[in-house]
Every structure is written in structure tokens, then in C-alpha cells.
A and B are shown apart, each in its own frame.
Chain A
Amino acid sequence: MTHDPADTFRQEARDLLESLEQALLDLEQTPSDRELVDSAFRSLHTLKGSGAMFGFDEVADFVHEFETAFDRVRKGESAVTPALIAVALAAGDHVGRLIEEPGRYAAQGEPILAALQDIVGDQGSVKSTSVPAPSDDTRRARSWRIRFRLPDDALALGTNPLLLLDELRELGECDIEALTDDVPPLEEIDPRVCYLAWKVSLTTEAPREAIEDVFLFLSDGMTLEIEALEPGTSETVTADQASRVLPQDLDTDRDKSQAAGESPGKSAQPPQHREAKERQGSSSLRVPAERLDELMDRVGELVIAQARLSQMTGASDDLELKTVAEEIERLSSGLRDITMGIRMVPIGTLFGRFRRLVHDLSHELGKEVEFVASGEETELDKTVVEQLADPLVHLIRNAVDHGLEDPERRELAGKPRRGKVRLAAVHAGAEVAISIRDDGAGLDAERIRAKAESAGLISPEATLSDNELYQYIFHPGFSTASEVTSVSGRGVGMDAVKRTIEALRGSIELTSEPGSGTTVTLHLPLTLAIIDGMLVRVGEGRYSLPLLAVEECVELPESEVAEAQGRNFLNIRGSLVPFLRLRELFGASGEPDPHQKVIIVSSGEFRVGLVVDQIIGNNQTVIKPLSKLHANLGTFSGATILGDGSVALILDVAHLVNFGRGFEERLRDERMRREA
């Protein structure tokens, strides 16, 4: 496989910049959080190191200056202020540009650095990295004895021990001694292996963490001992870097320090927890997305083939064959679950960029915005998450730009100056609901109506509920913002949002309360690939429906069987549930089964009963999309291949539930008319 190492760096750099950005945005909320400062610093440090390694010198130079400035924050010499965060974010963006298009933007770095320097209040040159100024007189110089041995493959992986020693020298006065005990005879020496170990006596004001930081970026397997030499504070921590990766390591560390006669509290260093968390990520593996898709396709085929095998062995008497078939069934369903699991990513990976978006928007538009995200851990299929990015950006932009009022207007309306935008993701049955809610003015039904009339979408006489009017904002070319701002209001978007969501087999729901805000909810299927399905028969056709949407199955009461027309409602423990006779809906031929079954399915808060002839059982449903020739059929969300090789259609529960909701609303209207 040919692979450009620079791509690896770019990939890595993007991740690092992202975590830097997150740390900065978090810092804006909690400026005193030391861990966040450290985390930002670590990202910068790694960027610098790998930038230089891959020949991105511009990046390395710029980040070096950036890091130096930020170091003052880390040392507590400069406070975290919103201004600092703003400049630091800009600096992060600049690094991104430098990486994507080296050579083009180099000149733009200067003003950013100047601004940064201004804020951190460094009078001298930012470049003076050497010994930190002893501004803090509570710190005393301490002496440390450090012994370290690099892993065998350190040189091969690009570690330069001399640089490590240089970094130690930067911390303070050093006495370095190389330990040559392990150097083998000449003929046995492998030039790629580092046989040396070092013993360093260091006197520095820097804390222990500063020394540990020097070795932070080494691969696992090195041994490092850092020992304080002063009496009274003596502590020995033998930190095996490999074991630090593990979360339980906090305990091991404590045990060790206890053994050294140290109180456990003192050595439990807060940054380590975070570090452990971050380092855990390093054991993950990058795989091209296409390979995952390919894997999923193969697993889909396997599941279908396995279903066929089960069906064949079901009819056979061969016990041995049955055993094997069962084992294959177990294996393939396990493989399916794992493969699906690999494809699931937490939606939080997207949320990060929205915080930045809101941060920028609030500055640009002069609105004070509080952005609250919840449900970051909610998992969705990778493809779905990727395609959600643009629609969500659009919706959040709308919420901040159109939804929220100016601070002055909010005050007049008796609301806090600071507007609130909430982004929440939750699991609900076979779907995930993502809602964007603002506490702004709500949609202006009058204006939407006027606009829709002038566009010729509705006639002036038409009577429409507010809710129906709101749906017009999903029409192409529809924007009610009377002023077009730089961020939104150009009337492109809401229709694109709707199209994207529908292409993902999802639906979009919009509610608005004048004066108190607008909520847009996206309902999305958990996965696009394989679901657990329930197989049913209607007439001669077999259909599958997502098992997660099924709430219960009941027999259709005799009283309802006769009455083909009229009220189609079922009393389920006191609540009325509308039901659809699928035989009628599908125009099924032949005699209905004597005992019709009703499957109660739900989507969102609504339920509907589906009357079928027979419930066949559960099956693994590999979802195959329908062709364009069947795109007009809302009732079906796809098709699947059954064990006998025939095709079954998959019922679109959300669509059918909506259908049933229509029934329910009509009934309510009727009742109201009767009462009036």
C-alpha cells in the first residue's frame, strides 16, 4: 500500500487541532481548569513535534511560538481571558491553514502571534523559552534524580535521546551521565537499538510534571524513575509508561507511592487521569471508511446466506448438520453485531464543531448565546453522522441568527439577555431523535403566510393552522428573514436539510411557540444496514418491520373484524390507538386469516396498530434500498432478502404512524364539530 506519510500527519493534526479547540472552548467556560490548559498545551506540543518530523517547518515554527506564549498561561503567569481564547482559536485555525496549504498563508501568522504576545503580556521576546522566570517565589528549586531507559525500538521510531536531554537541560542545571552497562560486545550491536540508559541530576523550579512532560510523547515500554532528592518531600514514583495507559493505573501509582512511605493523596496527580483517558485513544486503529463499508456488505451477504442455510437445515433430520448450522447462525449474528458496532460512532464527534460555530456566530452577530449540548454519547451509524453535519450546522445557524433575538429585544420581552440554544440527542426505540431548541421569538406565522401567498404556494382564502404554515419553511427558496445577514437568510437550506434527512430515511418535525422559541427535531434510524426485524404476512406478501419499533402484538377483537369501515380504533389498556388494516392498504387478495393480529408500533410519541394475517417471526433484516422506480412509495423504507431467496418489503413505521395520526386528528376534529 502506498501511503503518503504527510497524510498521516495531516490526519493526526486535524485531530489534535480539534482537541485543542475543544480545550480552548471549555476553558472559556471554566478559565481556572488547569487540566484543560495542560490538555491544550499537550496538543500544541505534539503538533510541534510531529510537524517538524514530517517536514512541516512552517507549522512547527508557528506552533513553537504559540506554545511558548501558551506556556505562560500554563505557568499561571497569564490569565485565561475571552480575548486570549479568541486569539488562540484564530491561531489554531491558522495552523490548520498552514497544514492544508503550506506556503500560502505563512505571512498571516505574524499578526496572530503579535496579538497573542500582547495578551499574555510578555514584554520580552516570546522566543525566550529557556529557564522560566522565578516570578513565583513560593516555588523553590529542587533537585531531582532521573533515570530513564528508552524502549528498544525507540530509535527506529524516530526518538532522538539527545533532544530529550536538551529538553531536560532547558528545565534547569543538569548533570547527565550515560549508563553503558547494557551495551553488548561490538559484534552483537544492532545499530538500530538504543542500549544506553541515562542518569540525570537536575536542579529546577519546575514541578515534577514538567519533567514527566519531557517524556510524555515516548512510546510505551520505557522505564522512567524520577526521584526528589530533598529530605521531607522525598518520593519515588516508578512510572512505567506502558502501565500508565491503563485507567486502573491510578491505583497502582498510589500503591507504589504508599510503599515509598507517601500519603496517597499527595501523589494522586490530577492530570494523570485525563492523560490516561487520552492515551487510551492511542490504541485505536485508523481504517479507511470504504473498507468498513465493504465489510458491512460482506456481512450482509453472510447473514442472508446463513438465513438460507438455517431454513434448509430446519427441514432436514441431520442432527450434525443442524449443529453446524446453529453454530454458524450464532457466529454470524455475533459478527453482525460487532461490525455494526464498529460503524457506530457517538454523535458527540460532531457536536464539537457546533460549539465553535456558536462561539463565532455570537461574536459576529453580537448576540449572547449559551450553547448546551446533551446526549453526546448517543451512537449512530457512521454514514448517518457524517451526513448530519451540514443539516445541523444549518439548523444551529438558523437558531442563533433567526431564532434568538438581540439582547435588547430579549430584555424588552422580559427574557435574560443571554439566549439559549440546546442541542440534544436521545435514543428512542429504533431511532435517534436530535433536537435543536432555541428560546427565541418563535416562528412568525403571519410572515410565513404572507411569504407563501406572495410566492403563490397558498391561496389567500386557505385556512391553515400555524403548524401547517410552519411547514412552508421547508419549501425551496423560502426565507422569512427580512434582512439577509452574512450567515443565513438566503433561502437556501431548509429544503436541503429536509432532503438530506429524508434521504437518510429520517423525518423532520418542527414546533414553535410564539415568544418562547422554536424546536426542530430530526428523527433518524439507528442504522442503515441491518436491523432485527419482525416478519409478518399480509395476504400472500411477506413484510418485515423493525423489531425495535414494535411495542406489543394483540389479536384483533372479533368485534372489530366484521366492521371493515368506520372507526378504526383499538382500546389498548384504556388508550385509543388507531389501526391500519394492511390487507386493505395493500389491496391483498384471497381470504383473510380467521384470527387477525395487530402489531402496535410506535414512532416518537405516537402509536399505530398494523393489522396483519400472520406473525411469522423474527429475522435479521439486511436493508436494501428501493430503486428510484419505487421512490414514490412512502409505505416502504426498503427491501430485504429472506432465507428462501425471495424479496420482502420493509414497512416504514414512521410513515405508517403518520398515516394513523391523520386518522386520529380527523376523529378529534369530528368530535369537536359534534360537540360544537
Chain B
Amino acid sequence: MNDANRAAIAMQALILDLGGEIFAIDAAQVREILDEVPITQVPNARPFVDGLINVRGRVVPLADLRVAFGMTRTATDEDSRIVVIEIELGGESSIVAIYADRVYDVTDIETASIEEAPKVGMRWRSEYVRGISRRGESFVIIPNLERIFVEEGDLEPVPQKAEA
């Protein structure tokens, strides 16, 4: 990842907890945050997207990033939330939901604070992480959602747009 690229990720981010790690999702992508809703299990679906929820009359797939990051899936509790986001899937703008153990707040993440994900010494696939920032004592992971959905959802990779 080059410097120009890093500068581009400066953003307002929704901070959430997933399996004890802190994640940051671009707030511009977030449509709404739902409290507990009935989740319909989809038999034989990939574990990454094995749920469906009703978002205002729309059937929306529910993805669990914990699967992509190899975390254990714990039972939901009263802090669990569902974050509805808009994302490019296979070249089309789509609505998907992601699970969160807890949602904190919306914060500005400054460009200078974002570091490149280390190629080694990380438990996760490095292409799933766009960058890492800090929040007090802990690290904040900025996931590359498009990439994760393409890989985990087994979608046709869309030719990469020229990165700005």
C-alpha cells in the first residue's frame, strides 16, 4: 500500500467490537444500526453469510466478519447489534448487514494515525485489512470489506478500479 492510498482512507468511522477486537467501518457506508432482530438461518450457505434479516421490508444477507477473521462465534447478548451497510458487490451497489458484538461511536480517524497492516505477525489475511489505527491503548482494524465479501462470498472479482 503506498502513501497516496493511505491518505485516501482518512475517514469518519463507526467503531465496533467484534470478538474482542476493535474494528472501524467507514461511516459513509453505514445505513443504519439495528438492535436484535430475528435472524433466519440459511441452510447450506457459507458460514460467512448464513443469515438473512428483514430490513424495512427488504431481505438482506447477514454476514459475520468473525468468520473471515477466524474468530469464534459467541452467542448474542444485549449489546449485540446489526450494522446495515451499503457495499459494491459484483459491480452492483448492494445492501448487506454485518454482525457486531457491540457498537461504540463514530470517530474521526486521521490519516497520519493509520498504519499499513503488517505482512507478518498478523493472524489474519493481510489483504482483508486495509490499515490499522490506534484508539487509546488498543488497535483499530480497518477491514477491506469489498475484498472480504468477494473472497468469502465467492463472488466474481470485479476488475479493480484505478485506485485514487
B61 within 8 A of A: yes
B120-158 residues with Cβ-Cβ distance < 8 A to A are 149, 153-155
A627 contacts B45, C-beta separation under 8 Å: no
Given B43, B61, B92, which contacts A586 in the complex, CB threshold below 8 Å?
B43
B154 contacts A627, C-beta separation under 8 Å: no
Interface 1/0 per residue, B32-70 and A, CB below 8 Å: 000001101111111001001110011111010000000
**How far apart are the CA atoms of A649 and B60 in the complex, in Å?**
12
Given A641-B54, A644-B38, A648-B40; A626-B59 close (CB under 8 Å): yes
A-chain residues with CB within 8 Å of residue B107 when the two chains form the complex: none
B59 contacts A629, C-beta separation under 8 Å: no
A587 contacts B89, C-beta separation under 8 Å: no
B89 contacts A629, C-beta separation under 8 Å: yes
B-chain residues with CB within 8 Å of residue A635 when the two chains form the complex: 43-44
A272-329 residues with Cβ-Cβ distance < 8 A to B are 300-301, 304
Interface 1/0 per residue, A624-666 and B, CB below 8 Å: 1111111011011001110011111100000000000000000
**How far apart are the CA atoms of A649 and B54 in the complex, in Å?**
12
**How far apart are the CA atoms of A352 and B57 in the complex, in Å?**
39
A-chain residues with CB within 8 Å of residue B90 when the two chains form the complex: 628
A-chain residues with CB within 8 Å of residue B41 when the two chains form the complex: 540-541
B94 contacts A649, C-beta separation under 8 Å: no
B59 contacts A639, C-beta separation under 8 Å: yes
Closest to A297 in B: B57
Given A585-B43, A587-B43, A647-B53; A630-B38 close (CB under 8 Å): no
Q: How many pairs, one residue from A and one from B, have CB atoms within 8 Å of each other in the complex?
A: 76
Given A585, A588, A639, A644, which contacts B52 in the complex, CB threshold below 8 Å?
A639
B96 within 8 A of A: yes
Given A301, A625, A632, A649, which contacts B40 in the complex, CB threshold below 8 Å?
A649
Given A541, A588, A629, A647, which contacts B63 in the complex, CB threshold below 8 Å?
A629
A-chain residues with CB within 8 Å of residue B38 when the two chains form the complex: 644-647
Given A540, A630, A641, A646, which contacts B45 in the complex, CB threshold below 8 Å?
A630
Closest to A632 in B: B154
**How far apart are the CA atoms of A351 and B63 in the complex, in Å?**
45
Given A541, A542, A586, A641, which contacts B59 in the complex, CB threshold below 8 Å?
A641
A630 contacts B42, C-beta separation under 8 Å: yes
**How far apart are the CA atoms of A633 and B61 in the complex, in Å?**
13
**How far apart are the CA atoms of A648 and B52 in the complex, in Å?**
9
A628 contacts B153, C-beta separation under 8 Å: yes
**How far apart are the CA atoms of A320 and B90 in the complex, in Å?**
50
**How far apart are the CA atoms of A541 and B94 in the complex, in Å?**
25
**How far apart are the CA atoms of A630 and B40 in the complex, in Å?**
13
**How far apart are the CA atoms of A605 and B1 in the complex, in Å?**
58
Q: How many residues of B contact A (CB 8 A)?
A: 28
A629 contacts B96, C-beta separation under 8 Å: yes
Given B40, B60, B89, B153, which contacts A541 in the complex, CB threshold below 8 Å?
B40
Closest to B152 in A: A629
Interface 1/0 per residue, B95-127 and A, CB below 8 Å: 010000000000000000000000000000000
Given B42, B43, B155, which contacts A628 in the complex, CB threshold below 8 Å?
B155
Chain B proximity of A234: nearest CB distance (Å): 69
Closest to B52 in A: A647
Chain B proximity of A586: nearest CB distance (Å): 3
**How far apart are the CA atoms of A632 and B61 in the complex, in Å?**
14
Chain A: number of interface residues, binned into ranges: 20 to 34
Given B54, B60, B153, B154, which contacts A645 in the complex, CB threshold below 8 Å?
B54
Closest to B90 in A: A628
Closest to A627 in B: B61
A-chain residues with CB within 8 Å of residue B92 when the two chains form the complex: 628
**How far apart are the CA atoms of A300 and B89 in the complex, in Å?**
25
A641 contacts B57, C-beta separation under 8 Å: yes
Interface 1/0 per residue, A440-473 and B, CB below 8 Å: 0000000000000000000000000000000000
**How far apart are the CA atoms of A191 and B60 in the complex, in Å?**
62
**How far apart are the CA atoms of A625 and B89 in the complex, in Å?**
15
A633 contacts B96, C-beta separation under 8 Å: no
Given A641-B54, A645-B38; A630-B49 close (CB under 8 Å): yes
Given A541, A624, A639, A648, which contacts B43 in the complex, CB threshold below 8 Å?
A541
B-chain residues with CB within 8 Å of residue A640 when the two chains form the complex: 59
A304 contacts B57, C-beta separation under 8 Å: yes
Q: Most chain-A CB neighbours within 10 Å: which of B45, B52, B60, B153?
A: B52
Chain B proximity of A168: nearest CB distance (Å): 62
**How far apart are the CA atoms of A639 and B57 in the complex, in Å?**
11
**How far apart are the CA atoms of A640 and B54 in the complex, in Å?**
9
Q: Most chain-A CB neighbours within 10 Å: which of B57, B89, B90, B149?
A: B57
A565-600 residues with Cβ-Cβ distance < 8 A to B are 585-588
B42 contacts A649, C-beta separation under 8 Å: yes
**How far apart are the CA atoms of A625 and B154 in the complex, in Å?**
18
**How far apart are the CA atoms of A73 and B114 in the complex, in Å?**
84
B153 contacts A629, C-beta separation under 8 Å: yes
B-chain residues with CB within 8 Å of residue A644 when the two chains form the complex: 38
Chain B proximity of A247: nearest CB distance (Å): 43
A-chain residues with CB within 8 Å of residue B42 when the two chains form the complex: 630, 633, 636, 649
A646 contacts B54, C-beta separation under 8 Å: yes
**How far apart are the CA atoms of A542 and B42 in the complex, in Å?**
10
**How far apart are the CA atoms of A380 and B92 in the complex, in Å?**
28
B40 contacts A633, C-beta separation under 8 Å: no
Closest to A635 in B: B44
Chain A proximity of B65: nearest CB distance (Å): 13
Given A624-B58, A647-B53, A647-B59; A629-B149 close (CB under 8 Å): yes
Closest to B44 in A: A633
A-chain residues with CB within 8 Å of residue B58 when the two chains form the complex: 624
A-chain residues with CB within 8 Å of residue B149 when the two chains form the complex: 629
**How far apart are the CA atoms of A646 and B41 in the complex, in Å?**
11
B44 contacts A649, C-beta separation under 8 Å: no
**How far apart are the CA atoms of A646 and B36 in the complex, in Å?**
12
Given A630-B61, A635-B43, A639-B59; A649-B52 close (CB under 8 Å): yes
Interface 1/0 per residue, B4-25 and A, CB below 8 Å: 0000000000000000000000
Given B46, B53, B57, which contacts A301 in the complex, CB threshold below 8 Å?
B57
Closest to A305 in B: B57
Closest to B149 in A: A629
Chain A proximity of B35: nearest CB distance (Å): 13
Q: Most chain-A CB neighbours within 10 Å: which of B44, B49, B53, B155?
A: B44
Write the residues of chain B forming the contact surface with A, with a CB cutoff of 8 angstroms: 37-38, 40-46, 49, 52-54, 57-61, 63, 89-90, 92, 94, 96, 149, 153-155
Listed by A's residue number, 24 A-B pairs whose Cβ atoms lie within 8 Å are: A300-B57, A587-B44, A588-B43, A626-B61, A627-B59, A627-B60, A627-B89, A628-B94, A629-B46, A629-B89, A629-B96, A630-B42, A630-B45, A633-B42, A639-B59, A645-B37, A645-B54, A646-B38, A646-B40, A647-B38, A647-B54, A647-B59, A649-B42, A649-B52
Q: A585-B44, A649-B52 are in contact. List 12 more A-B contacts (CB 8 A).
A: A541-B40, A541-B43, A627-B59, A628-B155, A629-B63, A629-B149, A640-B59, A645-B38, A645-B54, A646-B40, A647-B38, A647-B40
Top 8 A-B pairs ranked by shortest CB distance? Answer: A586-B43, A646-B38, A647-B40, A624-B59, A629-B153, A639-B59, A647-B52, A629-B49
